[in-house]
Structure 1
């Protein structure tokens, strides 16, 4: 199993650690537990507070079985959290025999998010009937809650006992399918057993500088040239923002001069270079690309790159080329790839790739769209997202344009 490598400056010395920093959530969990009644039913209790005052569309305790199935405690509440503690008590239910993970999940701006810690409990055989009666309360009385109707049925089972564990948190699959939200427990559509080693849900109010740089190889505030000489935009940190649960990479038609060359556009780019890089794994991002009619506009890209191009390789999970969603893998052996059939513009779509020794398999919205088996390198790569533009593709260029990213996640076996 290959671990993620992240870097951070400590006392002026570049040091390494084997974990990725977590992004700051809107909701902070103070305590979380599962309790059982004599009739074999269990309920969850969580005490939470807001990192700031935040209005939640839903607050619940999500549950996943060992095979990844959604078995959430019934019901959820809409509430407004302040910085003081609020206690949420779920409805009761019994669980078929097995081991389950559970964690706090919440919905804001039509997106589901999850919060550490993730804990586990083990249930005996049988099943039961879920009784939806969730509540949320706060000692100060500042938070209010409503109880949506929710029912589930099963057969009685023995009690469940809660114990702590440390898998990575995930986004509940109970989010409506129309939002395109994912569980986060595994990459969408990619088979195998995975654990998450890196992620950013973009839930805060600014870019997480422990994970991302906001330009291409420059100082924190520098405007930089593009990675590819065919691009028509310089990259400025001013075109990068985080808000409403998404990363925004904004392209503007604004002549910008860098290094003596004037580019007709300025745009946004982020890269994890120097902060997180990976050898093998599943890379996934949920992206809303700019569109031109039914085509993908501009040159939006989600990709990974090695330190020595092309020797170390370049893995293009997504790049919008000529209005289509395309994928490639570049190395000294060439740059094979292809474009997926169908429309991947004008809405949220999930773009992923499974990189392993000798192959990269590409998945769009959970469906395999291609595979490359030649020239696959093994050197570590860092992540890049950018809203590029190619002036020669005038038929699909649109400005201003906002490339939005709901999340970026990386898993390994």
Structure 2
């Protein structure tokens, strides 16, 4: 669709000042950014890079660096890539002033799924990311114990700056609370209805009792305990970690009417749940799928503004792929946003309750599948930058379906495959 009031992020708000604020919001969140390609080091040298493991199995990175001249960097972090190219960076990026005297960076701690990884120091200066040697290779097993060794160079890629898309139509809420039957699909299964040979590169079956912090952040680009402002200025609810939970084999993102003050200092009439994988997993191309329960405001009408989507680090240049979002009138819709616009459409039928939503993203084309059937395809403006995964239960009278709270958007699983 053309850029209009349906879109969550308005280009008119993306000034240089807001971009700078977003850059530092990313640092506060503690998620590392990725450089699109290796750049000259601008005189910054890594004196040492080490990884340590606590008794809990969580890893921490420590880097000592200096510069041949004094510069204030926008971000300094230790980035990590898995063997299949997924991003698993350490939290706790900072924005120090570097100079001839040595600066020590100590990351936050995190766990890694079993596998082999490459870690390296990256910093952002004058809006350009630089990746530094040495690169450490380590293997994480069941205990997360790293076995480091130096290896050849690797390239990393950007950090975030903004968000998704959709539409309007407010009506008086008609709360309904159907009881869904819960079934969990087999881990590693092929994407539903999407042809081809696939290997799974990311997934969460939500079979535990708490959110997996190695895969997800529980709000919109904020610190782990922060209540963050909405993704879009048309939303009426802040995003709070308290609204995110895992139980009964599902992720729960609960929207409710309760005044909440967010990290922008504003008070919102609603609070709700959101998870995103920025700084922990992002992908270029592949099949993206989630089985989601969307609450109904009335029979056949999706309540609120639930969405399953992906976003790049710089919007709209890097793109935004909306796999499913409940738009005005409670419809299930899809879009792809880029500098050239936001084409898309809505699928006919009742998509309240449990349904499977998927998209295959490949060069020049994105094809959308609902319950294994193709519902649309977009062939213009398709970008190729990495994107991270987001699920959120938005509340808006300008966008989305009729407001109905409390409302629990549930997700059985999220999976990403590549060829």
TM-score, normalised via structure 1 length: 0.59
Residue 260 of structure 1 and its aligned partner are, at CA, apart by 2.9
The alignment partner of 1:11 has SS state of strand
Bigger RCO (CA 8 Å, 6+ sep): 2
Matched length: 255
Structure 1, unpaired ranges of 5+: 24-108, 115-169, 171-183
Residue 388 of structure 1 and its aligned partner are, at CA, apart by 0.3
- Residues 1:384 and 2:414 are matched in the alignment: no
Of 323, 336, 354 in structure 2, the residue corresponding to residue 348 of structure 1 is 354
Aligned to 1:11: 61
- Residues 1:260 and 2:265 are matched in the alignment: yes
Distance 1:236 1:324, change over 3 A: same
Kindly provide the CA deviation profile for residues 363-413 of structure 1, in whole angstroms up to 9, marking residues without a partner as x.
000000000000000000000000001123697110110000000000001
Which one is further off, 389-398 or 333-342?
Answer: 389-398
Of 379, 391, 404 in structure 2, the residue corresponding to residue 398 of structure 1 is 404
Distance 1:340 1:232, change over 3 A: same
Distance 1:193 1:394, change over 3 A: closer
Contact 1:185/1:195 (CA < 8 Å) preserved in 2?
no
Of 297, 302, 319 in structure 1, the residue corresponding to residue 325 of structure 2 is 319
Residue 320 of structure 1 and its aligned partner are, at CA, apart by 0.3
Distance 1:239 1:378, change over 3 A: same
- Residues 1:209 and 2:210 are matched in the alignment: no
- Residues 1:297 and 2:347 are matched in the alignment: no
Structure having the higher strand fraction is 1
Aligned to 1:237: 241
TM-score, normalised via structure 2 length: 0.58
The alignment partner of 1:238 has SS state of helix
Residue 255 of structure 1 and its aligned partner are, at CA, apart by 1.5
Distance 1:298 1:111 in 2: 24
Residue 10 of structure 1 and its aligned partner are, at CA, apart by 3.1
Structure 2, unpaired ranges of 5+: 1-31, 35-57, 63-76, 87-111, 115-180
Aligned to 1:285: 290
Kindly provide the CA deviation profile for residues 296-320 of structure 1, in whole angstroms up to 9, marking residues without a partner as x.
1100000000000000000000010
Residue 343 of structure 1 and its aligned partner are, at CA, apart by 0.8
Aligned to 2:278: 273
Q: RMSD over aligned Cα, in angstroms?
A: 2.3
Kindly provide the CA deviation profile for residues 59-118 of structure 1, in whole angstroms up to 9, marking residues without a partner as x.
xxxxxxxxxxxxxxxxxxxxxxxxxxxxxxxxxxxxxxxxxxxxxxxxxx953465xxxx
